[in-house]
Amino acid sequence: MSIEHFVLRPDQRERALNVVGTHVTILAANAVTRSYGITLQEGDEGTGPPPHSHDWDEAFFVLDGAVHFQCAGKAYDCAPGTLVHVPRGTVHGFRYGRGGGRMLEITGAGALAAQLFTAIDHEVPIGPPDVPKLLAVAQRNGVTFAT
């Protein structure tokens, strides 16, 4: 079955998901493109995921603000225009810097990112996260948090 092109205008986007303080808008899920996925992510200063890994490639392109990345034990301060490529299995995490930030996330084939973000939005209440619930949702969607 062939994949048809699509155009997604801003007024056609689904609402942003709340993923433990990061607002994630799914622009193209891997299941739709049958290849890559794209999300728009925005967070307030100090928010972002702790070090974790998963079995898909991922890249981030910083649009606004500052984002502090950790990849394979190294730290990077990333300004707008910075691209961060994270190969599958690499332990990584990030925190939004002063004033928050905004970036695109692109995931490789087979990624479960859109499923993960949707599940967290639906199953983990807003506020201080229910850590056992968050860990269970992450594990179910192929994400392992580093200890």
Q: Is residue 78 part of a domain?
A: yes
Whose tokens are 């991922």? That residue is 58
Which residues make Cβ contacts (< 8 Å) with residue 42, sequence separation at least 6? 16, 22, 23, 100, 101, 102
Q: Tell me, what's the pLDDT at 88?
A: 97
Q: Is residue 81 part of a domain?
A: yes
Tell me which residue range forms the domain holding 97.
23-145
Total domains present in the chain: 1
Q: Is residue 9 part of a domain?
A: no
Q: Tell me, what's the pLDDT at 26?
A: 98
Q: Is residue 136 part of a domain?
A: yes
Q: Is residue 1 part of a domain?
A: no
Q: What is the pTM of this model?
A: 0.94
Q: Tell me, what's the pLDDT at 85?
A: 98
Q: Tell me, what's the pLDDT at 127?
A: 83
Q: Is residue 2 part of a domain?
A: no
Q: Tell me, what's the pLDDT at 1?
A: 63
Q: Tell me, what's the pLDDT at 137?
A: 96
Q: How far apart are CA 80 and CA 85, in angstroms?
A: 15
**CATH number of the domain residue 72 falls in:** 2.60.120.10
Q: Is residue 16 part of a domain?
A: no
pLDDT tens string for the chain (147 positions)? 678 899 999 999 999 999 998 999 999 999 999 999 999 999 999 999 999 999 999 999 999 999 999 999 999 999 999 999 999 999 999 999 999 999 999 999 999 999 999 999 999 988 888 899 999 999 999 999 997
